[in-house]
Structure 1
Amino acid sequence: MGLRERVDALFKGPEEFDLTDGSIGKPLFFLSMPIVVTNLFQTAYNLADTFWLGQYSTDALAAISFAFPMVFLLISLGMGISVAGSVLVAQYTGASEAREAEYAASQTITFALIASVVLGGVGYLLVEEFLALMGASEAVLPMATSYMEVISLGLMFMFGFFVFVALMRGYGDTITPMLVMFGSVVLNIVLDPFVIFGWGPFPELGIEGAALATVFSRGLALAVGLAIMFRGTRGVQIHLRDMAPDLTYLRRLVRIGIPASIEGTGRALSMNLLLFIVAMFPDPVVAAYGIGTRVFSVVFLPAIAVARGVETMTGQNIGADEPERAAAAAGLAAKVLFGVLSVAGVVVFLFPEPIVSVFVGAGEPDAERVIEVGTQFLRIVALSFGFIGVMRAYTGSFRGAGKTLTAAAISVLMLGVIRFPIAWFAASEIGETGIWLSFAVSNVLGAAIAYAWYQRGTWREGDLTESKVDVDDVSLEAGTTDD
Structure 2
Amino acid sequence: MGAEPAPRPQAKFCTGSILRHVVVMAGTGAIGLMAVFVVDLLNLFYIAWLGNPALTAAIGFSGVVSYVQIAVSIGLSIGIGAISGRLIGAGRIEQARRVASSFGIVMMVLCLLIGLITAWLATSILALLGASGEAARQAATFLEIISPGLPLIAAGMGCSGLLRAIGAARISMNVTLLGALISAILDPLLIIGLGLGLEGAAISTLFSRGFVAFMGFHRARQHGLLAWPIRTHVLTDTKLVGQVAMPAILTNLATPVSSIFVTHAMAGFGLAAIAGQATIERIVPVAFALVFALTGSVGPIMSQNLGAGRLERVRATLVASLWLVAGCVALTWAILFLTQDMVIRAFSAQGTAAMLIHLFCNWTIAGYVFIGMLFVANAAFNNLGFPLYSALFNWGRATLGTIPFVWFGMKFGPGGVQVGQVLGSVLFGSCAVMTAFTVVRRLHPGDRATEHAMPVIPPPQTGEAGLIELDELDHST
On whether the aligned pair clears a TM of 0.5, the verdict is: yes
Q: Contact 1:86–1:170 (CA<8 Å) still a contact in 2? A: yes
Matching of residues 184-203 of structure 1 within 5 Å: 184-197=179-192, 199=193, 203=194
> Which residue matches 1:25?
19
Q: Contact 2:251–2:390 (CA<8 Å) still a contact in 1? A: yes
CA pair 144-459 structure 1, distance change in 2 beyond 3 A? farther
Matching of residues 27-106 of structure 1 within 5 Å: 27-56=21-50, 57-106=52-101
1:178-210 Cα shifts (integer Å, max 9, x gaps): 11111111111111121112x2xxx43210110
> Which residue matches 1:7?
none
> Which residue matches 2:408?
425
Matching of residues 221-300 of structure 1 within 5 Å: 221-230=212-221, 232=222, 234=223, 236-242=224-230, 246-300=234-288
CA pair 327-144 structure 1, distance change in 2 beyond 3 A? same
- SS where residue 436 of structure 1 aligns? helix
Matched, 1:468 2:454: yes
What letter corresponds to residue 419 of structure 2 in structure 1? L
Give the counterpart of 1:436 among 418, 423, 427: 418
1:306-347 Cα shifts (integer Å, max 9, x gaps): 332321111001110112211111012112211321232233
- State how far apart, in whole Å, the 2-side matches of 1:464 and 1:270 are: 32
> Which residue matches 1:334?
322
> Which residue matches 2:149?
154
Q: Contact 1:110–1:245 (CA<8 Å) still a contact in 2? A: no
Q: Contact 1:45–1:214 (CA<8 Å) still a contact in 2? A: no
Give the counterpart of 2:206 among 211, 215, 224: 215
- State how far apart, in whole Å, the 1-side matches of 2:96 and 2:27 are: 24
CA pair 407-478 structure 1, distance change in 2 beyond 3 A? farther
- SS where residue 240 of structure 1 aligns? coil
Give the counterpart of 1:133 among 121, 128, 134: 128
CA pair 111-433 structure 1, distance change in 2 beyond 3 A? same
- State how far apart, in whole Å, the 1-side matches of 2:39 and 2:307 are: 35
Q: Contact 2:155–2:217 (CA<8 Å) still a contact in 1? A: no
Distance apart, 1:416 and its partner CA: 1.4
- SS where residue 246 of structure 1 aligns? helix
TM-score, normalising length: structure 1: 0.88
- State how far apart, in whole Å, the 1-side matches of 2:450 and 2:277 are: 39
TM-score, normalising length: structure 2: 0.90
Distance apart, 1:40 and its partner CA: 0.8
Give the counterpart of 2:334 among 346, 370, 376: 346
Distance apart, 1:218 and its partner CA: 0.9
- SS where residue 460 of structure 1 aligns? coil
1:81-113 Cα shifts (integer Å, max 9, x gaps): 221110111001111211011112111211111
> Which residue matches 1:363?
none
What letter corresponds to residue 358 of structure 2 in structure 1? T
Q: Contact 1:321–1:465 (CA<8 Å) still a contact in 2? A: no
Q: Contact 2:190–2:204 (CA<8 Å) still a contact in 1? A: yes
1:360-397 Cα shifts (integer Å, max 9, x gaps): 3xxxxx74542233222333312223222222222211
Moved more, 143-152 or 173-182: 173-182
Aligned residues: 456
- State how far apart, in whole Å, the 1-side matches of 2:462 and 2:211 are: 31
- State how far apart, in whole Å, the 1-side matches of 2:171 and 2:341 are: 36
> Which residue matches 1:445?
427
- State how far apart, in whole Å, the 1-side matches of 2:465 and 2:125 are: 42
- State how far apart, in whole Å, the 2-side matches of 1:478 and 1:208 are: 50
> Which residue matches 2:357?
374
* Unaligned residue ranges in structure 2 (runs of 5+): 1-8, 472-477
What letter corresponds to residue 59 of structure 2 in structure 1? I
What letter corresponds to residue 434 of structure 2 in structure 1? A
- SS where residue 249 of structure 1 aligns? helix
Distance apart, 1:459 and its partner CA: 4.2
- State how far apart, in whole Å, the 1-side matches of 2:35 and 2:118 are: 25
Q: Contact 1:82–1:108 (CA<8 Å) still a contact in 2? A: no
What letter corresponds to residue 302 of structure 2 in structure 1? T
What letter corresponds to residue 253 of structure 2 in structure 1? T
Distance apart, 1:475 and its partner CA: 6.8
- State how far apart, in whole Å, the 2-side matches of 1:289 and 1:476 are: 58
Distance apart, 1:439 and its partner CA: 2.9
Q: Contact 1:110–1:244 (CA<8 Å) still a contact in 2? A: no
What letter corresponds to residue 196 of structure 2 in structure 1? L
Distance apart, 1:426 and its partner CA: 1.5
Distance apart, 1:353 and its partner CA: 2.7
- SS where residue 471 of structure 1 aligns? coil
Matched, 1:395 2:395: no
> Which residue matches 2:474?
none
Distance apart, 1:473 and its partner CA: 5.1
- State how far apart, in whole Å, the 1-side matches of 2:245 and 2:382 are: 10
- SS where residue 407 of structure 1 aligns? helix
- SS where residue 156 of structure 2 aligns? helix
- State how far apart, in whole Å, the 2-side matches of 1:473 and 1:38 are: 39
Matched, 1:169 2:164: yes
1:137-174 Cα shifts (integer Å, max 9, x gaps): 31200000000111112111122211111111122211
Distance apart, 1:478 and its partner CA: 6.3
What letter corresponds to residue 53 of structure 1 in structure 2? I
Matched, 1:325 2:313: yes
Matching of residues 406-425 of structure 1 within 5 Å: 406-425=389-408
Q: Contact 1:380–1:436 (CA<8 Å) still a contact in 2? A: no
CA pair 315-371 structure 1, distance change in 2 beyond 3 A? same
Q: Contact 1:242–1:478 (CA<8 Å) still a contact in 2? A: no
> Which residue matches 1:118?
113
Q: Contact 1:64–1:144 (CA<8 Å) still a contact in 2? A: yes
CA pair 426-477 structure 1, distance change in 2 beyond 3 A? farther
Give the counterpart of 1:206 among 197, 201, 204: 197
